[in-house]
Amino acid sequence: MRRGLICLAAAAVVTSDCTSDEAAPDEENFEPAPAPTVELPLLESLESPLKVGLVVTGSGPRGEGAEFAAPAAGARVAEFRLDGDADRLQLEVVDDRGTPDGAVAATQQLLDAGVAGIVYASAGAHLDPALDLASGAGTAVLLPYDTRDGLAGDTAWRTGPSDSQVADVVGAMLAGRGQRSPVAFTGEGTGSGLAALAAGDRRVTVAAGDALAGQVATAAQPLTDGGADSALVSASAETSAETVAALQGRAPSAPVVLGPSALAPAFAARLSDLGSAGGATTAGQFFTVGPAATDSSTDEGVVRFLDAVRLAAQDADLQSLSGTDAFGRLGAATADVRSHDAVVALAAAAAGAGSTEPAAVLEALGGLELGVDDGLAGPRLAFADRQALPDDGVAVLQATTRGAERGVEQDAPALSWFVLPDGEG
């Protein structure tokens, strides 16, 4: 898997023939730029390759995690970085199809395959029986996208923001902006944390379908008559986009704060589709909450992650998670630091344990603390608590229509996000 990286490094030192008898001026004797430092040598001391399970939801009802299949491509970037000159990490990818039975079957398949740990790149209640199954087998599960405060099983850690963290950060942001009268729209696949920030008579439950636009139009009246000052939208990525589109038809200037599902490319894609039909725009004032690591970050971990994405995209042999296309055409534009860091965390636990056995990895993970020096792209993770992403790693993010600019030729998300500096918003 490292052939693409080796070829790219070699290409940097190729020189052209010189047909002139005159020596080139000293200032033109440039040293070639070094290849980006993207390899992670965590697994070099292990005697056997590390198997990591990755569960994605390729289809299923809204609110059960299908929107996170695209950002889960970050796990492939982690594999690319960890492999080195040999296949030191084997990523076993399984689709649970968004149902409890599918989740159990997917997890059992991975347990039977002997994975050292599982990254469950999905969300929703359908995960719970699978988490119980993994717990009974003594296998660690990392959850980069499920925000629910309650976790099933005893061997699962959340490595992304929790509902409570999201509500606390949004509440502080609204207070700082002097916005004390939001209207909250809540749909499938989300908790009540954001809704609790609104008064009881300003909380609306929306359902995807033909009735949604009418529900939103009625509830948005306070935004047009001055009785409310902002909108909170918490639902699946697609339903969030449809709610935003309906809001734009009634209160186009209202600031909108979204749940973390808005970070999934499906939110921007659905909003763009609605915009193409003349019913929405991606140019609104959108905020959300997520790990303090985006494509616009200059932190060392993010820069190395993006370098790895670009190099991996040029490796023609590197497949997408689905195996239906090359990573450069399906995955490079949407790969996310959260799924990347979950894989790196399991690799670090295996390295610390000196073993690929699930029980040893689980024990090592329990007290682990990791940061950028350990290969993470995002904020530090501390596994002493089942909420492994600490409060200081959670930030307010704002959307921009500039695009991710990863230099890959494929359909990219119509929105990218940047960390809002403290005191702004």
Across the chain, what does the average pLDDT equal?
Answer: 90
DSSP per-residue codes, 7-64: HHHHHTT-------SSPPPGGG-PPPPPPP----GGGTT-SSPEEEEEEE--S-STTS
Under 8 Å between Cβ of 302 and 293: yes
Strands (E), 299-421: 369-370, 381-382, 394-400, 416-419
In the predicted structure, residue 6 carries a pLDDT above the cut 90: no
Instruction: Look at residue 423 in the predicted model and tell me its pLDDT.
Output: 53
Q: Where in the chain is the domain with CATH 3.40.50.2300?
A: 41-161+297-392, 163-294+397-405+410-419
Average pLDDT over residues 365-381: 96
Q: Which CATH code for domain 163-294+397-405+410-419?
A: 3.40.50.2300
In the predicted structure, residue 5 carries a pLDDT above the cut 70: no
In the predicted structure, residue 20 carries a pLDDT above the cut 50: no
The first and second tokens of residue 77, run together, are: 């970037």
> Burial level of 87, CB count in 10 A (0-12/13-18/19+)?
middle
Instruction: Look at residue 4 in the predicted model and tell me its pLDDT.
Output: 41
Q: How confident is the model at residue 406 (pLDDT cuts 50, 70, 90)?
A: confident
Instruction: Look at residue 424 in the predicted model and tell me its pLDDT.
Output: 60
CATH of 41-161+297-392, one of 2.40.100.10, 3.40.1500.10, 2.60.40.10, 3.40.50.2300: 3.40.50.2300
In the predicted structure, residue 22 carries a pLDDT above the cut 70: no
Output Rg (C-alpha) for the chain, integer angstroms. Answer: 23
CA 292 to chain centroid, in Å, comes to 11
In the predicted structure, residue 1 carries a pLDDT above the cut 80: no
Q: How confident is the model at residue 403 (pLDDT cuts 50, 70, 90)?
A: low
pLDDT digits (tens, 9 = 90+) for 128-174: 999 999 999 999 999 999 999 989 999 999 999 999 999 999 999 99
Helix axes 358-365, 337-353, angle to 10 degrees: 110
Separation of alpha carbons 3 and 83, rounded Å:
11
Higher pLDDT, 35 or 421: 421
Q: How far apart are the first and last CA of the chain?
A: 43
Q: Which residue has the tokens 């790149």?
A: 121
Q: Is 354 left (phi over 0), alpha (psi -120 to 50) or beta?
A: left
Instruction: Look at residue 279 in the predicted model and tell me its pLDDT.
Output: 77
Separation of alpha carbons 207 and 197, rounded Å:
20
Instruction: Look at residue 84 in the predicted model and tell me its pLDDT.
Output: 78
The first and second tokens of residue 396, run together, are: 């307010």
Instruction: Look at residue 122 in the predicted model and tell me its pLDDT.
Output: 98
